[in-house]
Amino acid sequence: MHLRDGLQTHVTVRQRYDHLVETGAVGRDTAQERVVAALDRLTDEISAKRLAQKSSALGWLFARSRQPREALKGLYIQGGVGRGKTMLMDMFFELLPVRRKRRVHFNDFMADVQDRIQKHRAARKNGDVKEDDPIPPVALALAEQAWVLCFDEFSVTDIADAMILSRLFSALFANGVVLVATSNVAPQDLYRDGLNRQLFLPFIGLLERNAEVLTLDTEKDYRQEKLNRLPVYITPADEAADRALDEAWKAMAHGRPTEAVTLTLKGRQLIVPRAAGDAARFSFADLCEKPHGARDYLAIADRFSTIFIDHVPVLGEGKRNEAKRFILLIDTLYDHRMRLVMSAEAPPEGLYTAKRGTEVFEFERTASRLVEMQSRDWLEGWAERREVEAAPAEARQAQG
């Protein structure tokens, strides 16, 4: 905490960023510093608005009844993978002195919106509500839950989401919601090759009017620099391995909070015990000692680009089911060209000790793939693929 005009106020993003630089956690970067300054300006504006709203209970009531409310202009932070966007946005969210705030992956937010819309339609069919259009009440409920929304990885790929975004966010902004988002693409490149894109275009103008667009165009990928110095297959799976994986996870998370995530599959849910951005961390027991199948592993591969697995044991005759799941898991991660970081009791060729059954031959392929996934070519290819995926569609077409 620090003092401003004799009053104790919140710690700034600048102070937190300078501390990380001083401790060597990050390198000082002018592009990042521009974003830091913008985040602190927005924090001050939000804090001033919050104090104005609280200055008079009667004024607050009148303010709530005005339509539309005057909204602050938020921020849309655009840049490539590993540039520090999420780290800075998370600092802002943590330090923002507002109770009704929400930080969420954009796809998870839209899944919540679609679920609320379906519930409203069901309630309308049952006669429980009178309003035909679900967007206004859904937007109002979201705004009442949180008037500062922080989105990680803003990206539009689903046509159902694309078709409602303009109306949804018009209503959110009218209810005073402030948007802070990170994205790999500029607003003009959102939903670039999407079906019926002309119907989506009004949202781009709405976004640019309600959020300042900042480009984090630093050339270095700080996360990749750290990860390149870390091992990805660690044996044996002892305390030293735990510490090594913790260090690798910290580098991969790059300042983002670690939290559990729920993936929704048809008719059931899959819990990811630890996730940060596009990285997920499991124990071997989480993934292979539970009755998971191909659909589960595909859901994980579709949602994340990096998987950590702790404590892979040596598998023998009594662990055939676990071995089958592990074979399927590695095949899935390999086919999706993912980065794998794991600790194991033995090198890849020593992980399966059974002498009979089809798993013996199948595991030979698994061991070979585990070796390949440790190679420099694999890891450099992973980084290149992430850059291509982060690039706007026009750039991808030019590369192709």
Query: Could you tell me where the beta strands, DSSP code E, fall in 185-321?
Result: 211-216, 233-234, 259-265, 268-276, 279-283, 306-312
User: Exposure string (b/e) for 184-210, b if CB count within 10 Å is 16 or more?
Assistant: bbbbebbbbebeeeeebeebbebbeeb
What is the CATH classification number for the domain harbouring 174? 3.40.50.300
Query: Do 206 and 70 share a structural domain?
Result: yes
The band of 312, judged by pLDDT with boundaries at 50, 70 and 90, is very high
Per the CB < 8 A criterion, the answer to whether 13 and 95 are in contact is yes
End-of-domain residue from the set 189, 216, 243: 216
Residue 226 has pLDDT above 60, yes or no: no
pLDDT top residue among 386 and 283: 283
End-of-domain residue from the set 188, 216, 244: 216
pLDDT of amino acid 315: 94
Number of folded domains in the chain?
2
Does residue 138 sit within a domain?
A: yes
CA separation for the pair 292, 385 (Å, rounded):
28
Does residue 396 sit within a domain?
A: no
Query: Do 212 and 318 share a structural domain?
Result: no
Does residue 391 sit within a domain?
A: no
**CB-facing half-sphere around the CA of 43: CA atoms within 13 A:** 22
Query: Do 334 and 205 share a structural domain?
Result: no
Query: Do 142 and 92 share a structural domain?
Result: yes
What is the CATH classification number for the domain harbouring 300? 3.40.50
Secondary structure of residue 180 in the 3-state scheme: strand
pLDDT of amino acid 343: 95
Query: Do 41 and 92 share a structural domain?
Result: yes
**What's the pLDDT tens digit per position in 257-276?**
889 999 988 778 899 999 99
Comparing 14-18, 112-116, 129-133, the range with the smallest average pLDDT is: 129-133
The band of 307, judged by pLDDT with boundaries at 50, 70 and 90, is very high
Query: Do 290 and 211 share a structural domain?
Result: no
**CB-facing half-sphere around the CA of 77: CA atoms within 13 A:** 31
pLDDT top residue among 387 and 333: 333
Amino acid code (one letter) for 25? A
pLDDT of amino acid 386: 59
Query: Do 230 and 370 share a structural domain?
Result: yes
Q: Of the spans 44-58, 66-80, 206-220, 328-342, which averages the highest pLDDT? A: 328-342
pLDDT top residue among 52 and 2: 52
Query: Do 305 and 196 share a structural domain?
Result: no
Does residue 395 sit within a domain?
A: no
pLDDT of amino acid 257: 82
- Whether the full predicted model's pTM is greater than 0.75, yes or no, is no
Query: Do 253 and 198 share a structural domain?
Result: no
Instruction: Pick the closest to residue 186 from 201, 198, 204, 172 (CA basis).
Output: 204
The band of 228, judged by pLDDT with boundaries at 50, 70 and 90, is low
Question: In which residue are the tokens 């899935």 written?
Answer: 332
Does residue 397 sit within a domain?
A: no
Query: Do 315 and 185 share a structural domain?
Result: no
Query: Do 96 and 62 share a structural domain?
Result: yes
Does residue 142 sit within a domain?
A: yes
Query: Do 270 and 212 share a structural domain?
Result: no
Domain span including residue 53: 2-216
Does residue 388 sit within a domain?
A: no
Per the CB < 8 A criterion, the answer to whether 340 and 309 are in contact is yes
Does residue 393 sit within a domain?
A: no
